[in-house]
Amino acid sequence: MDLRQFLMCLSLCTAFALSKPTEKKDRVHHEPQLSDKVHDDAQSFDYDHDAFLGAEEAKTFDQLTPEESKERLGKIVSKIDGDKDGFVTVDELKDWIKFAQKRWIYEDVERQWKGHDLNEDGLVSWEEYKNATYGYTLDDPDPDDGFNYKQMMVRDERRFKMADKDGDLIATKEEFTAFLHPEEYDYMKDIVVQETMEDIDKNADGFIDLEEYIGDMYSHDGNADEPEWVKTEREQFVEFRDKNRDGKMDKEETKDWILPSDYDHAEAEARHLVYESDQNKDGKLTKEEIVDKYDLFVGSQATDFGEALVRHDEF
């Protein structure tokens, strides 16, 4: 895939308005579940392992001996203890769980970082990003392929400036992560809302009315009868989205729609892990307390074998 093809694919993912959808589009950013396993510690700690490590990483521990699992867990605990005071708090554990669950985001950033840090100084400037992404279109910003690269570049620059906290037009890796994945950062949420509204607000009046809301999700394509889910979405708009009943969604109403305040699964799991492991009940964990309860946090050959025996007995 050459750069132009890549950019076309990227634009389809990030600039939603470029093609009219023919089926339901979900713009709501939900916090993902920590695991697809059932959370039942009486049966197994598989849910806790997935939550603490991420599902893919959790699988690697199942191949380790208990001693190897404890050793690796001890190294992880040192990373979780952000202030290096020898204790792991609920907040530190919550931050780690969120990191483990979103490891794919950081892996994506690493891949893109290599292609944009052109001078390899450990930073990505706007000029570097612009040249790496749009360089070949600068002489012909409106090529004959249906994509408005000039408009996309303006939008990217605005988002880059928002992510760039100190305003020097040079992004650290954390700022570059906020640029690529703005929905993950509180200070970037306004730009997520703004871009969404620009995509859907076809008459550019600064609001999203009912027909714009439906039109973003569904194209009639000559069909007179709407599917049931479209009728349900119309009801959702009137009853819940348009809170002030003025027939349209403003910025705050749009934010409530696409960035809902979800139940914090990571915090609930962090509190659960602390409660189950906190031997002296001081509300925080030492490395020793965590390693003593290692089978709650990570798997090993022993726990994997034990679960296999349980399954065998049930069979």
Q: What pLDDT score was predicted for residue 139?
A: 67
Quote the pLDDT of residue 308. Answer: 42
What is the predicted pLDDT for the residue at 140?
66
Contacts 24+ apart (CB under 8 A), 194-202: 194/251, 195/155, 195/159, 196/16, 196/27, 196/254, 196/258, 197/251, 197/254, 198/17, 198/155, 199/15, 199/16, 199/17, 200/17
Query: What local confidence, expressed as pLDDT, does residue 149 receive?
Result: 83
DSSP string, the chain: --HHHHHHHHHHHH-GGGS--SS------PPPPS-SS---TTT-SHHHHHHHH-HHHHHHHTTS-HHHHHHHHHHHHHHH-TT-SS-B-HHHHHHHHHHHHTHHHHHHHHHHHHHH-TT-SS-EEHHHHHHHHHGGGTT-SS-TTS--HHHHHHHHHHHHHHH-TTSSSEE-HHHHHHHH-GGG-GGGHHHHHHHHHHHH-TT-SSSEEHHHHHHHH---TT-SSPPHHHHHHHHHIIIII-TT-SSEE-HHHHHHHHS-----HHHHHHHHHHHHH-TT-SSSB-HHHHHHTHHHH---HHHHHHHHHHHHHH-
pLDDT of residue 223: 67
Mean pLDDT by 10 residues, the chain (315 residues): 42 38 66 89 94 93 94 96 96 94 90 93 96 79 68 94 97 96 94 96 97 91 80 96 97 95 90 97 97 95 51 38
* pLDDT score of 30: 79
- pTM over 0.85? The answer is no
Q: In this predicted model, what pLDDT tens digit does every residue of 195-235 receive, in sequence order?
A: 999 999 999 999 999 999 999 999 877 666 888 999 999 99
pLDDT (0 to 100) of residue 220: 75
